[in-house]
Amino acid sequence: MKFARIQFETREARVRAVQGLMQRARVVALRGGNFIVPEPALEWLASQNIAYTVLESLNQDDVLQTLRTAVAHPV
């Protein structure tokens, strides 16, 4: 499965998106306001007219590496 690391344009968009996405998909929240979501979630965001920016396309291995790096370097 493919994933995307995304960032939302506004706080309001982020709140609305996270509420909807948490009911539909597994969402990983990263520091700095970034999120990792499965690619099908991007279709839902577009259907809801929620503005976001794709920062990076990821595969399963990339997601694991990102999570390991986040744990190794806590905030």
Structure-token pair, residue 42: 């991007």
Give residue 43's identity as a one-letter amino acid code.
E
Question: Domain residues for 50?
Answer: 3-72
The residue with tokens 């806590």 is 74
Q: How many domains does the chain have?
A: 1
Residue 31: the pLDDT is: 85
Residue 70: the pLDDT is: 61
Using DSSP, state whether 1 is helix, strand or coil.
coil
* pTM reported for the whole predicted model: 0.80
The contacts of residue 1 (CB under 8 Å, 6+ apart) are 38, 39, 60
Residue 66: the pLDDT is: 76
pLDDT per residue, tens digit, the chain (75 aa), is 899 999 999 999 999 999 999 999 989 998 889 999 999 999 999 999 999 999 999 988 888 787 777 655 555
